[in-house]
């Protein structure tokens, strides 16, 4: 976990912020599932200012269409989420999603338009509402301020670990909290957000500033993650603010807005890193840092190009310092810079090693390189020597297990 001065990491996840509760249950949505939670609910005692981002894929899951309709007033009070079925490309998908929202609203005695929804799992299979229906009241009854981990488990598909983070910080002398849960390990090349992420805060902040912060932070966190180059049909990122911290409402980009934005970055950046670390079949987290870029856009494009390269990912799986593949990925990035100025360094907890300067390889110890690349976290540091801007992207290695997981996903 990457820590930040002035922000204390705490327990609680999506329930760390005042007013929020969550829960997760086993509904049996996925055939044969009798041991893993697959239906979650997040609820706030107050109607919240809410911002959201969704997939850029032209094929969009029914839950996204429903969320967009329910968010027209920028308010929400609850979210219901299922795993095991994406409810996408189904003729009755919107109807099912609306029914799930209706069941949630009824069980919580709130307006159905204040309920948002997320789904993840297999595309193109009908979601059985009859399985879900009896479980929604049960979820409402067990909602708890300690329910974040259960909800986090319930939104997982091929994930191997829970992604749950929260921070505490101060605004106007008031203790504030921001936390979230996230899922995603495959079909991750967001270009908008991650597969599913739900973030809550008790900060008092206007809808306009909430949306501005979410878009900005997303552009340097979830947007900079790629596991396999596939953009999901169901990517959903929701941020809800209860206002219960009782700070003076943030309505402009002042100092308090900056503190809030940094808190959001602390949570979303760590969740994004964990998404890359938990890539399907992955054994290594790859972080590409691009420095010396003529502008931020160039830095981002180059960083994403490197961590998205299947050849680079496969080489790092084998701890092979095949720097030519890295330079190749830098070279086909859609950006303007002088390749003959580029240098590349490989680094990990075992040390660092320069493998390329001025766009050409230099001699280095293959044994030392193997040692550096055998760690679970690898950094590729690229310097374009063409300016002052920088960017970071996160990915993972490409392993035999990635093919196995995706070849057998429906079975």
Q: Has residue 143 got a pLDDT over 60? A: yes
Q: The tokens of 395 are what?
A: 């990915």
**What is the CATH topology of the domain spanning 285-407?**
Ubiquitin-like (UB roll) (3.10.20)
8-277 and 285-407 have identical folds: no
Which fold, 8-277? Answer: 3.60.70
- Among residues 194, 201, 221, 275, the one annotated as catalytic is 194
* Full-model pTM: 0.89
The full set of domain ranges for the chain reads 8-277, 285-407
With CA atoms as reference, report the closest residue to 145 among 296, 299, 15. 15
- CB-CB contact of 264 with 178 (8 Å): yes
Strands 389-396 and 377-383, bridge-based pairing = unpaired
pLDDT band at 233 (very low <50, low <70, confident <90, very high): confident
Three-state DSSP at 77 gives strand
- Which residues contact residue 234 at a Cβ distance below 8 angstroms, ignoring those fewer than 6 apart? 55, 60, 61, 63, 64, 86, 88, 118, 119, 120, 195, 196
- DSSP bridge pairs for 120: 83, 85
Q: pLDDT digits over 73-101, tens only?
A: 999 999 999 998 999 888 899 999 999 99
CA distance 50 to 73: 9
* The pLDDT value given to residue 399: 79
Residue by residue, DSSP assigns 3-57 as -BTTBEEES-GGGSSTTEEEEEE----STT-SSS--EEEEEEEEEEEEEEEE---
Q: Which of 232-236, 255-259, 352-356 has the lowest mean pLDDT?
A: 232-236
Three-class secondary structure of residue 308 per DSSP: helix
283 vs 135, more confident:
135
Q: What pLDDT is stored for residue 409 in this prediction?
A: 54
- 194 part of the active site: yes
Helix ranges (H only) for 169-309 are 207-219, 255-277, 296-308
């Amino acid at each position: 976990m990457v820590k930040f001065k002035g922000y204390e990491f705490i327990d609680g996840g999506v329930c760390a912020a005042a007013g929020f509760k969550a829960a997760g249950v086993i509904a049996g949505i996925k055939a044969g599932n009798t041991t893993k939670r697959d239906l979650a609910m997040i609820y706030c005692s107050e109607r919240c200012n809410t911002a959201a981002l969704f997939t850029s894929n032209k094929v969009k899951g029914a839950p996204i269409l429903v969320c967009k309709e329910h968010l027209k007033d920028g308010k929400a009070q609850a979210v219901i989420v299922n795993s095991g079925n994406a409810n996408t490309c189904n003729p009755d998908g919107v109807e099912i999603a609306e029914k799930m929202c209706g069941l949630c609203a009824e069980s919580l005695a709130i307006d159905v338009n204040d309920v948002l929804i997320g789904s993840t799992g297999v595309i193109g299979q009908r979601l059985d509402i009859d399985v879900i229906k009896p479980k929604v009241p049960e979820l409402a009854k067990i909602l708890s301020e300690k329910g974040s981990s259960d909800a986090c488990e319930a939104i997982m598909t091929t994930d191997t670990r829970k992604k749950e983070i929260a921070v505490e910080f101060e605004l106007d002398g008031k203790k504030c909290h921001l936390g979230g849960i996230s899922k995603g390990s495959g079909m991750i090349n967001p270009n908008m957000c991650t597969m599913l992420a739900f973030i809550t805060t008790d900060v008092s902040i206007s809808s306009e500033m909430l949306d501005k912060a979410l878009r900005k932070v997303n552009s340097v966190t979830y947007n900079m993650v790629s596991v396999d180059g596939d953009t999901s049909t169901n990517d959903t990122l929701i941020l809800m603010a209860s206002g219960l911290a009782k700070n003076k409402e943030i309505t402009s980009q002042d100092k308090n807005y900056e503190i809030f934005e940094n808190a959001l970055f602390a949570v979303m950046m760590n969740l994004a890193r964990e998404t890359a670390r938990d890539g399907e079949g992955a054994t290594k987290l790859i972080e590409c840092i691009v420095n010396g870029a003529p502008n931020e856009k160039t830095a981002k494009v180059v960083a994403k190009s490197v961590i998205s390269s299947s050849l680079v990912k496969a080489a790092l799986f084998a701890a092979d310092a095949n720097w030519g593949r890295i330079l190749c990925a830098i070279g086909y990035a859609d950006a303007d810079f002088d390749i003959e100025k580029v240098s590349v360094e490989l680094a990990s907890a075992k040390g660092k090693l320069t493998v390329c300067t001025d766009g050409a390889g230099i001699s280095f110890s293959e044994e030392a390189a193997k040692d550096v690349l055998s760690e679970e976290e690898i950094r590729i540091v690229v310097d374009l020597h063409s300016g002052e801007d920088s960017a970071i992207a996160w990915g993972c290695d490409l392993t035999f297990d990635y093919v196995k997981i995706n070849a057998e996903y429906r079975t």
